Amino acid sequence: MTVLALLWLLLPSQDGRTSLVDATVWVLAGAEGRGTGWVCNRERRWIVTNYHVVGDANEIDLIFPEFRDGKLVTDRESYVRDFNRLRRRFRLIRRHLTRDLASIEAQTLPDQAKSLGLAASTYPGQAVCLVGNRRDLDTLWNFNRGKVRQSFHSKEGIPWRTDRLAKGCRLLAIDSLVHEGDSGGPVVNDRHEVVGVVSAVLFQAQQITAAIELDELRAFLEEPLNKTPPEKREPTPYEKALRSVILVESQSSRHRATGIIVNAQRKIAVTTLSAVGSNDRVLSMFPRWDKQIVLPDIAAYVRQPRVSAVVMAKDSRRNLALVQLGSISTDATSVDLVDQPARTGESLHAIGNPNGIEALWLYSAVHVRQTGKVVLSSKKEDGSAEVLILQSPAAGNDSGGPIVNTRGELVAIASGKEGPESQVAYALGLAEIQAFLREHRWVIEPKVAESYVRRMERFRRVHWWNEAANEAKEAIRIDPKHAATWQLLPELTLQSGNKSEALALAKKALEILPPRLQSGPLMTLARIRLLESNSSAAGEHIQSILLLDPKCAPAFVLRAALHRLAVRVDLAMKDADEAIWLAPNAAEGFAERSLIHVARKDYDRALDDVNRAIELDPYNPALWESRAALQLVRGEKGKSSDDKKAAEELRKANQIR
């Protein structure tokens, strides 16, 4: 906002437009109530403030701004000295706890007092101004400015005494700092129209300012819906960038973070390593829309199905991770990268999902204080990365959100790391982002067989069998005799549920592969015969595998299953132990031995083994179902129910197309 734009906010009206100070009032209620109010209707002499400013006070005094020789008097002590002369009588009309609003009718108004009208709408990124009377300053009518971060519905409200203010009310999140005494003051746009009323500071959300939102104010005043259409304007940087933003959630934590879609066609997004942690798979959500307006309330997303995403690559030095989304919203678009890095002093825009607030997709206005190198990794030995040092609202450990320019182009990525001083944050710079994407082009634009094989391995690890099989087929399309892929493709196809195709592929693999590399397709044939209850044929295939590779752990696991089904429990246990000895970090040996313990009715050891199997293969729903059954046998109904739900969620997440 320009200097000229500030003048009309602070000085008496000269051009027919209402000055913000002309319309404000200092409210003193009882022994404790100190706040701000504003004239909403000059003809009726109505003044609006907060419920918590007036509380249950029976005595309320109103002090209007005074001007001497055309200059605003700001000294608090001056108003205190002339209190009896300046105070004005009132009549309290009504109070509304759940909207944290109160209306007062003044007996008289000073000549210069003007009223403020209500805006038609508000939106994230909108520039706003405030005037308040914070108690820790020696001046009154203190000006402040900021931007709207989001509008949201507060289910919990704001604690006050033994009550909760604004419970179930719509609030504005604003990045302007306020203090006790500013409550009740108007929040206005650059057209001098009220978009909200200052209410509180959300300390649990890094001291975001909360204001009672426009629609709540309109309902309180019983003013009909404003039929004036919102101002016509160009899309904001927030609106340009939002369709490339996703929410990222870890399956083991409720902590939320943000990501950016870098290739919508291939469903690839970037987030931070701190957002995904040690997980190989995370959950994501896209913004929801109502008539081109984003739904910000977190309650609107509670029942929304999450989209599973595989972590394809991690970079601890840059604190970045690349994820493959299982599906993508039809509204989603790829972000564009800026051509040139940001400069010191440049104003930018951020979108994120800070924790501690009942809203998503929050806007932040930021600017570049400096560029430099900072260690973003938890391990100092990883080295430093090039970053932008930003003047920014505290982000509540949110990371992965885009920092964009006025055209909505990606300039940097929020690292989630905040500086030693308040409102200083770091964002990974453009050069680091470009280098990261170049280094992992095999994820975004695979062109050679090895790239598809690497993608296949990521999908295989998290049980995305269909996707893994498709990547294997692409590798073979490029290199029809790619041996490593032919060893795995039949098994991947079987796991995806297509037994007949898996059988045909296994037979073809045996024709292509030399004998020393045939254990993979032979294992698939053995599994198919076991599924068909043809134990004799399965045994022959297993024997062939062990002749080729006497230390093939999966073959011992499968033979242990054959013995178990034939009630040869001791032989089964011997083979399971051998499999675990040969491959101590493979889940299938522990899973099979757990079933053998169940056959022996040794449920404690069975639980120990299935626990270990889940540690090694947490994305296998069958293991969670096995543990649920064991816990039910042990009388642990609650744990059993939890594991059944986990298995159901995994099966849903594994159905990726």
Segment 99-103 shows an average pLDDT of 95
Q: What are the contacts of 227-234 at 24+ separation with CB within 8 A? A: 228/120, 229/120, 230/120, 230/121, 231/120, 231/191
Model confidence at 1, pLDDT cuts 50, 70, 90, reads very low
Domain 242-439 has CATH 2.40.10.120: yes
Domain 3-220 has CATH 3.10.20.30: no
The residue type found at 486 is W
Segment 268-280 shows an average pLDDT of 95
Distance CA 184, CA 25 (A): 10
Distance CA 142, CA 20 (A): 11
Mean pLDDT of the chain: 91
**Residue 207: pLDDT over 50:** yes
Q: What is the pLDDT at residue 581? A: 98
Segment 310-336 shows an average pLDDT of 96
Q: Which two tokens stand for residue 155?
A: 């289910």
The fraction of the chain above a pLDDT of 90, given in percent, is 79
Please state which of the ranges 198-207, 270-279, 302-311 shows the lowest mean pLDDT: 198-207
Burial class of residue 474 in the structure, from the number of CB atoms within 10 Å of its CB (0-12 exposed, 13-18 middle, 19+ buried): middle
Q: What is the pLDDT at residue 16? A: 36
Q: Report pLDDT digits (tens) over 401-412.
A: 999 999 999 999
| Tally of residues, the chain | 657
Q: Tell which wins on pLDDT, 585 or 205.
A: 585
What are the Cα distances from residue 106, in Å, to 65, 96, 334, 482?
15, 18, 55, 86
Query: Cβ(188)–Cβ(196) under 8 Å?
Result: no
Segment 451-475 shows an average pLDDT of 96
**Residue 421: pLDDT over 70:** no
Model confidence at 295, pLDDT cuts 50, 70, 90, reads very high
Q: What is the pLDDT at residue 107? A: 84
Site of tokens 């994501």: 284
Q: What is the pLDDT at residue 10? A: 46
CATH no., domain 484-654: 1.25.40.10
Distance CA 177, CA 189 (A): 17
Contacts of 144 (CB under 8 A, 6+ apart): 129, 130, 131, 132, 176, 177, 178, 182
Is residue 15 classed as helix, strand or coil in its secondary structure? coil
Model confidence at 478, pLDDT cuts 50, 70, 90, reads very high
Q: Which residues of 39-77 are buried (b: 16+ CB within 10 A; e: fewer)?
A: bbbeeebbbbbbbbbbbebeebbbbbbbeeeeebbbebe
Q: What is the pLDDT at residue 313? A: 97
Q: What is the pLDDT at residue 31? A: 74
**Residue 163: pLDDT over 70:** yes
Contacts of 486 (CB under 8 A, 6+ apart): 476, 509, 512, 513, 517, 520, 521
Q: What is the pLDDT at residue 253? A: 64
**Residue 565: pLDDT over 70:** yes
Q: Report pLDDT digits (tens) over 165-182.
A: 999 999 999 998 899 999
Give the domain ranges of the chain.
3-220, 242-439, 484-654
Pairing of strands 289-290, 362-374: unpaired
Q: Report pLDDT digits (tens) over 219-233.
A: 999 876 555 666 678
Is residue 545 classed as helix, strand or coil in its secondary structure? helix
Q: Specify which residues 484 forms β-bridges with.
A: none
How far from the centroid of its chain's Cα atoms is residue 235's Cα? 23
Q: At what angle do helices 499-512 and 519-531 cross, to 10 degrees?
A: 150
**Domains 3-220 and 484-654 fall in the same CATH topology:** no
Query: Cβ(428)–Cβ(419) under 8 Å?
Result: no
Q: What is the pLDDT at residue 225? A: 57
Is residue 425 classed as helix, strand or coil in its secondary structure? strand
Question: What's the CA dihedral at 632, 638, 644, 647 to 10 degrees?
Answer: -120
Q: Report pLDDT digits (tens) over 44-64.
A: 999 999 999 998 887 788 999
Distance CA 139, CA 131 (A): 12
Q: Report pLDDT digits (tens) over 326-375.
A: 999 999 999 999 999 999 999 999 999 988 899 999 999 999 999 999 99
Q: Which two tokens stand for residue 540?
A: 């022959």
Q: Report pLDDT digits (tens) over 592-642.
A: 999 999 999 999 999 999 999 999 999 999 999 999 999 999 999 999 999
What are the Cα distances from residue 465, in Å, to 209, 458, 487, 592, 657?
47, 10, 15, 21, 10
**Residue 515: pLDDT over 60:** yes
| CA nearest to 175, candidates 241, 224, 125, 105 | 125
Q: What is the pLDDT at residue 60? A: 87
Distance CA 536, CA 255 (A): 52
Pairing of strands 194-202, 208-213: antiparallel
Distance CA 384, CA 452 (A): 31
Q: What is the pLDDT at residue 422? A: 66
Distance CA 180, CA 378 (A): 38
Distance CA 567, CA 571 (A): 9
Site of tokens 């309320």: 60
How far from the centroid of its chain's Cα atoms is residue 394's Cα? 15
Query: Cβ(210)–Cβ(216) under 8 Å?
Result: no
Model confidence at 7, pLDDT cuts 50, 70, 90, reads very low
